[in-house]
Amino acid sequence: MKKIAASAALFSLLAAAPAAFAIQPSAVPDTGTLSKAPVGSTVQINGTDKFGDRYVNYFRVADDGSLKLVDQVRQSND
């Protein structure tokens, strides 16, 4: 019985872990479309969330010139 309880606790911890690393929507800037960037290229846009934390947002250029968010990295405040 203790093994089941321990497994359940571990599973619930691991299930909640991805939420801690989720993309912060307040740090993703509004983007328009690009007309001169090659389709499939990567664009880097720096942003700051409402708490002052800095993020680097990586976008991929779609066929219509819009930008699709592919990654976000929080920058150290050192």
**pLDDT, tens digit (0-9, with 9 covering 90-100), for 9-53:** 545 545 554 555 556 566 677 778 888 889 999 999 898 888 888
Nearest 5 degrees, angle CA 23-CA 28-CA 32? 140
The pTM for the full model equals 0.62
Tell me the chain's radius of gyration from C-alpha atoms. Answer: 18
Amino acid at 31: T
Residue 58: how many other CB atoms lie within 10 Å = 15
Q: Which two tokens stand for residue 50?
A: 């409402």
Residues in the chain: 78
Q: Which of 50, 59, 52 is nearest to 75 (CA)?
A: 52
Give the pLDDT of residue 60. 94
| 54 within 8 A of 47, measured Cβ to Cβ | yes
